Amino acid sequence: MPRLALIATGGTIAGTGAQSHYTAATLPVDALLDAVPDLRSLAQWHTEQPFALDSRDMHPTHWLQLAERIQTLIDTPDIDGIVITHGTDTLEETAFALHLLLPTGKPVVITAAMRPADSLSADGPLNLLQAARVALAPHSYGRGVLVVVNDHILPARHVVKTHTHAPDALSAGAAGEEGIVFDQAVRYHRPAPIPRPAILTLKPTTNLPRVDILMAYAGLSADHFHALQNLGCRGIVLALAGHGSIPEALRPAISEAIAQGIVIVRASRIGASVLPNHNEDDSSLGTLAAEQLSPLQARIALMVGLAAGVAPSGLQAWLASV
């Protein structure tokens, strides 16, 4: 039989209680397996539970722990694929971080649930079964980190949570799904790309620098920049209005922050792309554009880029390439 690894991190998929007021991350990893008898007939399982969190409490240090452990499993010859259970609230952040931190090759599949495990019509068991089928499918190789929920196979690079309580809360936006799972069939809409190595080689001493997000709103004060400078942040992603438009009142504070070595990235609070503006802000102030990244993604990309030692002159190209 093939052998899969299941890494449980908590979330609603392991939660119990009334759907309107439940407790996440209460079930251990083996209980998730035992709830779906077909899983034992699909593969032999290696199980781990590095932490049990409501995903609202996920931290960048958890991304590094997960990536390091997954890399070890990828390098283990008799492990054919890895399945990760996660809460939906911050799944898009963990998925994007793992997209950057792991090589494409052996399947790595994240799944989740919007309803607790003991609720009426719980979605977790089927999602877990479908994630296992995707992890075992030969044509899943080389596609990078995937997210499997509600019959959809989504690319970790583009996954986003779009609803607060509906079962179909995760999507890939305009990028579209990678494929579908129907019964025992796994179908992809496009060929797999050429496998690539990990972007950042993890070491026990690897640390992601502090990068913060400032949301633009009417009357945003420059005091926030001064506070973040005092806290030692290495970068600030501005979730600005429209196409990353900088309010005039913030320009002096931005110039001061950049002069102190803080990287400033213009993103859009609506989540759409912000392209370089060479004739205005980016040239005159020294800001960078988030390209196709949301503010959340731009923050993670900047953290990983700085940790990987990308030179300041190369950060714009880095943001465009991920």
* CATH number of the domain where residue 287 is located: 3.40.50.40
Banded model confidence at residue 278, pLDDT cuts 50, 70, 90: low
Same domain membership, residue 178 and residue 243: no
Place of tokens 């609202």: 56
What is the tally of structural domains in the chain?
Answer: 2
Asked if the structure places residue 149 within a domain, the reply is: yes
DSSP run (H or E) holding 236: strand 235-240
| 115 and 222 together in one domain | no
- The model's pLDDT over 45-97, given as tens digits with 9 standing for 90+, comes to 999 999 999 999 999 999 999 999 999 999 999 999 999 999 999 999 999 99
Let me know whether 160 and 293 are in one domain. Answer: no
Q: Is residue 157 part of a domain?
A: yes
CATH number at residue 93: 3.40.50.1170
User: Considering the entire predicted model, what is its pTM?
Assistant: 0.95
- Flag whether 223 is in a domain: yes
Over residues 212-228, the pLDDT tens digits come to: 999 999 999 999 988 99
Is residue 23 flagged as an active site residue?
Answer: no
Residue 102 and residue 65 share a domain: yes
Q: Would you give the DSSP letter of residue 22? A: E
Provide the residue range defining the domain that includes 260: 211-321
Same domain, 115 and 27: yes
Last residue of a domain, one of 137, 154, 188: 188
Please check whether residues 182 and 69 belong to one and the same domain: yes
Please indicate, yes or no, whether residues 227 and 177 belong to a single structural domain of this protein: no
| Per-residue exposure over 290-307, b if at least 16 CB sit within 10 Å of its own CB, e if not | bbbbbbbbbbbbbbbbbb
User: Distance (Å, rounded) from C-alpha 44 to C-alpha 22?
Assistant: 31
Task: Tell whether 146 is covered by a domain.
Answer: yes
Does the residue 88 lie in any domain?
Answer: yes
How many residues would you count in the chain? 322
Does the residue 280 lie in any domain?
Answer: yes
Q: Examine the fold and report which residue of 131, 154, 188 is the final residue of a domain before the chain moves on.
A: 188
The single residue of 9, 12, 88, 104 carrying the catalytic annotation is: 12
